[in-house]
Amino acid sequence: MDALTTDPVPESDDTGGLTAVAPDDIWPQRLDTGWQCISTPAGACESPGDLPDHGWLAAQVPGTVASARRAAGLFDVAHPEPLAFDDHWYRVTLNGTGKRRLRLHGLATIAEVWLDGIRRLDSDSMFVAHELDVELNGRATLDICFRSLAPALAAKRSRARWRPRLVSPPTLRNVRTTLLGHMPGWCPSVHAVGPWRPVEMLSDARNGIDRFEVSSRIDGDDGIVSLTLRFVHPHDRAACRASLGCGGHVSSLQWRDAFTLTGSVRVPCVERWWPHTHGAPTLYPLLLHLDDSGDIPLPLGWIGFREIAVDRGADGAGFALHINGVPVFCRGACWTSADLVTLAGSEAQLRQAFELARDAGMNMLRVGGTMVYESDLFYTLADEYGVLVWQDFALANFDYPNDAAFRASIECEATQFLGRTRRFASLAVLCGGSEADQQAAMFGLPPSMRVQPVFDELLPAIAARERPDVPYVSNSPSVGVWPFCTNEGITHYYGVGAYQRPLDDARRSHVRFAAECLAFANVPDDATLNEALGTIHPHDPRWKAAVPRDPGAGWDFDDVRDHYLQTLYGVEPARLRYEDPQRYLDASRAVVADLMAEVFTEWRRNGSDCGGGFVWQLQDLRPGAGWGLIDATGRPKSALHGLAHTLQPIQVLLTDEGLNGLDIHLINERAQTLSAQLELVCLRDGRVKVAQASRAVQLAPRSTARIAAAACLDQFFDLTHAYRFGPRSHDVTIATLRDAASGKILSEAFHLPERRIGERHELGLTVEVERAGDGWQLVIEAQRFARFVHINDAKYRAAHDWFHLAPNRPRIVPLIPLAPNASQSAVVACASNVAFKADATNAAPAGEVLALNAASPTFYG
């Protein structure tokens, strides 16, 4: 066989052994250049011969029709065309001779593959990869046609027992495609069409690798890595020897047949992989050693070793994860997409999202059933950053078919996904899907009529076979009298949120594990609003178009946030919005930071039986006040900063216990004993100490403690203003945890007995700009307690923001450069969540520092 013209020709080997070639030559070659695409009306072109010669666009693969049009300046993400109901053709020229194998990792969604005008393959699922053996004779044309979804949506299938309002049209239950783009009120209607996953040609090198699968397990104190590797061509098993190395230990591999190597290597006293909050996410490099390979080991990536178990609690109704035998409070957010248009995103975009999540103290992300299965790169980064992943199968809300064809498609989809992700330590939970059981229950169906074999029979069997190391749950939410009950199993908690319950509902509901929670219309910073929307007015039609809403509801999530603005902060939102719109925006940002911190404080406190919670959602899919903790340009919102003050591995928290005063909760998730000094101070007028105490504390590794604040004082003090014997004597209580040896502040917590926002004061706020290596930082100090300090800078964003500042306690805030010409990047950023990167000029910062209770901003630069 001759190689493709783009490949180097390998040397021949008369012994039948493996030939020494550069490592890159043995891997499947991505066919990612030279593509063009064109769109036609549905059914207009039956075959490639009917296509016009003009009107083709350059297209990137992997990619989508939307991404090709966006690159050409022909796509408006705010007003997208309904791409799913036309036909779209992709074309590329292949050069070479001989037999080849194509691998198509994902075609969205009804697709035909043609070679030189002959239809060779059909696909009806965007979640299934295909292989196609072809013979090339110098030059060939590969065409992929993505047909309109209309016929598939109109096809007769079994009648559904319920129809959710979330998705349009409801017959999407019959089609294996993402629900992204088909959920009015949730995200723009950007339809997934095109070769959204890579198209590859297997290498023709003598030792070309077809595929390999790696898994790890723990045996006592040792780690064991197992490998199955398949070559493109057969080999002489007697003449070729191979071995696998990991952590300096090497074991021989065996030939299962002429194509397949298998074996394992044991790593004694292996270091465990941990979520970053509890330890180091240790990974070991894997090396494949082949005879006749010039002593050049072939890198097979990295592997981690960990054990996962589910703790159901003493009553059997809970849900919590134990990693390596240690209970882990799982906290994070629900992933949407790094780029709605491509459904993938770049490595830079993914890295920024993981960095922001990690730095906020998150240790888990949930990929929901309304989204897509993420790329190998996503899981590679999750392993690297020490972030667990809860993975729904791509099923949500519907009453799904149970015919043989549908079951076969799901079996193929799930098996392929679990096979390609078998190596990743971060994959921690497999879930049948999202809200299918909840939908049935809310439609009034009894348990016997809610059963779906795909969740209760098919998927658990596949998960047990392919990933026995990962726990499986049937649905999110599930368990309980109703599947969405908060005090049993897994729930979606919107008591504080859409249902507008008071803050104490977070305790009253006895949440055991919230796989979704706390959806608000989170307001981005002014810079994003100005760049992306050209306005910061919260009643502009463009603003409202980006505010999420549930279909058919007479309210949206602006209304939810405004409810808490009124009940917690004591302002009339509508009046404040038109009298002082900037104050309204700042108060709106502050209140969601408050809400996020308060609810997770409740769930993390000592004595809580909550196992974790994921905020809905991590990223916005379009500019504006969306659910995201990160806006559509990649900037964190106040909500993320509010969580960051509450989710750290070493944490002090305060809870209001009414007549019992305040409880102080100390958390040490690290593997080392924590020796610290705990300080408590109550201030009147934000600066006068009216009560204070200090005591030494020591926390065992991975432990929590609760201390009654009243026990720290030597006399009665109405810490929560619950007894109300006269006027309130203080306006803030501050708990500070300092390292016993260095005096460094490890964590702070603040309690305000009255949250209303009223008068603003001169705080004596000062800001100094300092050089910090190649960058800049601010040193911020106030003479009076500053509530929700916020930094506005045209060229930088603050690493820490929306924080409370104790008086006479300087706070160092590193500044992170934004991209130059950000306003010019806004159109692209709106569609692609572009992560703004450092400006090489490192211009001096200039901006303002504000606080919610400050009479005026403080300028710097």
Query: Is residue 773 classed as helix, strand or coil in its secondary structure?
Result: coil
The mean pLDDT value of the chain amounts to 92
Summarised one tens digit per residue, pLDDT across range 639-696 is 999 999 999 999 999 999 999 999 999 999 999 999 999 999 999 999 999 999 999 9
What pLDDT score does 714 carry?
A: 84
Torsion sign, CA atoms 68, 343, 108, 622: negative
Residue 513 tokens read as: 């594990």
Task: Render 163-206 in DSSP notation, one character per residue.
Answer: --SSSSSGGGGGSBS-STTS-TTTS------B--S-EEE---ST
In whole angstroms, give the CA distance from residue 756 to residue 381.
42
Are 736 and 692 a contacting pair, CB within 8 Å?
A: no
What pLDDT score does 842 carry?
A: 77
pLDDT category, 190, cuts 50, 70, 90?
Answer: very high
User: Using CB atoms within 10 A of its CB, is residue 251 exposed (0-12), middle (13-18) or buried (19+)?
Assistant: middle
The CATH number of the domain covering residues in 766-860: 2.60.40
pLDDT category, 814, cuts 50, 70, 90?
Answer: very high
Summarised one tens digit per residue, pLDDT across range 48-106 is 999 999 999 999 999 999 999 999 999 998 889 999 999 999 999 999 999 999 999 99
Query: Is residue 34 classed as helix, strand or coil in its secondary structure?
Result: coil
What pLDDT score does 290 carry?
A: 87
**Residue ranges per domain, the chain?**
23-201, 209-303, 313-644, 650-751, 766-860
One-letter amino acid of 74:
L
What pLDDT score does 240 carry?
A: 85
Return the CATH number of 650-751, one of 2.40.37.10, 1.20.1630.10, 2.60.40.10, 1.40.20.10. 2.60.40.10
Nearest to 553 by CA among 186, 188, 190: 186
What pLDDT score does 536 carry?
A: 62
User: Using CB atoms within 10 A of its CB, is residue 482 exposed (0-12), middle (13-18) or buried (19+)?
Assistant: middle
Assess whether the region 209-303 and the region 313-644 belong to the same CATH fold.
no
Prediction pTM value: 0.94
Q: Which region holds residue 515: left if phi is over 0, alpha if psi is between -120 and 50, else beta?
A: alpha
Let me know the angle formed at the C-alpha of 197 by 192 and 203, rounded to the nearest 5 degrees: 160
In whole angstroms, give the CA distance from residue 242 to residue 497.
58
Nearest to 132 by CA among 91, 102, 106: 102
Residue 350 tokens read as: 């993914």
What pLDDT score does 544 carry?
A: 87
Determine how many CB atoms are found less than 10 A away from the CB of residue 489.
Answer: 24
| pLDDT surpasses 90 at 831 | no
Instruction: Strands of 105-129 (E only): list them.
Output: 110-115, 118-123
In whole angstroms, give the CA distance from residue 834 to residue 832.
5
What pLDDT score does 238 carry?
A: 77
Query: Is residue 68 classed as helix, strand or coil in its secondary structure?
Result: helix
Distance of CA 196 to the CA centre of its chain: 19
What pLDDT score does 839 carry?
A: 43
User: Using CB atoms within 10 A of its CB, is residue 445 exposed (0-12), middle (13-18) or buried (19+)?
Assistant: middle
| pLDDT surpasses 90 at 604 | yes
What pLDDT score does 3 carry?
A: 29
| pLDDT surpasses 80 at 592 | yes
pLDDT category, 819, cuts 50, 70, 90?
Answer: low
Summarised one tens digit per residue, pLDDT across range 691-721 is 999 999 999 999 999 999 999 998 899 999 9
Are 486 and 608 a contacting pair, CB within 8 Å?
A: no
The CATH number of the domain covering residues in 209-303: 2.60.40.10
The conformation of residue 795, written as its DSSP 8-state character, comes to S
CATH 2.60.120.260 fits 23-201, yes or no: yes
| pLDDT surpasses 70 at 292 | no
- Residue 581 forms beta bridges with which residues? none
Summarised one tens digit per residue, pLDDT across range 307-318 is 999 999 999 999
In whole angstroms, give the CA distance from residue 390 to residue 605.
23
Per-residue pLDDT, averaged over 768-776, amounts to: 95
| pLDDT surpasses 50 at 514 | yes
| pLDDT surpasses 80 at 2 | no
Summarised one tens digit per residue, pLDDT across range 91-115 is 999 999 999 999 999 999 999 999 9
Nearest to 450 by CA among 410, 476, 483: 483
Summarised one tens digit per residue, pLDDT across range 342-357 is 999 999 999 999 999 9
Query: Count of residues for the chain?
Result: 861
Summarised one tens digit per residue, pLDDT across range 404-458 is 999 999 999 999 999 999 999 999 999 999 999 999 999 999 998 999 999 999 9
Are 841 and 774 a contacting pair, CB within 8 Å?
A: no
Summarised one tens digit per residue, pLDDT across range 608-633 is 999 999 999 999 999 999 999 999 99
Return the CATH number of 313-644, one of 3.90.1580.10, 3.40.1710.10, 3.30.1540.10, 3.20.20.80. 3.20.20.80
| pLDDT surpasses 50 at 17 | no
| pLDDT surpasses 70 at 294 | no
Pairing of strands 775-781, 811-817: antiparallel
What pLDDT score does 531 carry?
A: 80
Q: Which region holds residue 518: left if phi is over 0, alpha if psi is between -120 and 50, else beta?
A: left
Per-residue pLDDT, averaged over 495-517, amounts to: 97
User: Of residues 733 and 554, which shows the higher confidence score?
Assistant: 733
What pLDDT score does 408 carry?
A: 98
Burial pattern 549-582, b for ≥16 Cβ within 10 A else e, equals bbeeeeebbbbbbbbbbeebbebebeebbeeeee
Per-residue pLDDT, averaged over 776-792, amounts to: 98
User: Using CB atoms within 10 A of its CB, is residue 840 exposed (0-12), middle (13-18) or buried (19+)?
Assistant: exposed
Summarised one tens digit per residue, pLDDT across range 127-180 is 999 999 999 999 999 999 999 999 999 998 889 999 998 899 999 999 999 999
First to last CA, the chain: 67
